[in-house]
Structure 1
Amino acid sequence: MTHRHIDPKGWTLAKIDDVIGYGGLPAWLELRDAVRSDPNLLPKIRRIASHGTKHGEDIDAYRFWLNIADHLEGEHKAKAAPVGE
């Protein structure tokens, strides 16, 4: 999917918004994989999804991504936890 304002340096807020609001499953999987490799994207996703749940065209998609962000954050915390905890 071609996204507006693509920044060659990574995932901009506009690109994340396009993927969540207008992207299909392949774009969503790409975003999910990007977050799995870079947890620093989670605050951006939360920011976009939180706004989208109130003002987005596809409110359910933004709500879904808030849940995905919670799940992925849990994955990152589990990976970071010392063994035995």
Structure 2
Amino acid sequence: MPKPGIHPKWYPDAKVICNGEQIMTVGSTQPEIHVDVWSGNHPFYTGTQKIIDTEGRIERFRRKYGMGAGGGKASKQQKPQSEQ
């Protein structure tokens, strides 16, 4: 049993509003919740998301850490075994 007088007021039918339009109702401690993004206008969920890879993130990573053909710190010439 919750203690009386310490909990905020509960609004079982709080309105979620995006761009001045009511999207849905949820339970909340605020009567109205204003949001900028929701699944109905987010590019990932609407299918309009574009992945832009201008610098080639994977190639840059491989170059930086010497993986693959790009070279890098790990691909520098090492001393032969007899000179060590």
Structure holding more helix per residue: 1
Same fold, judged at TM 0.5 (above): no
- The alignment's TM-score, normalised by the length of structure 1, stands at 0.22
- The alignment's TM-score, normalised by the length of structure 2, stands at 0.23
Larger Rg: 2
Q: Which has the higher contact order (CA 8 A, sep 6+)?
A: 1
Structure holding more strand per residue: 2
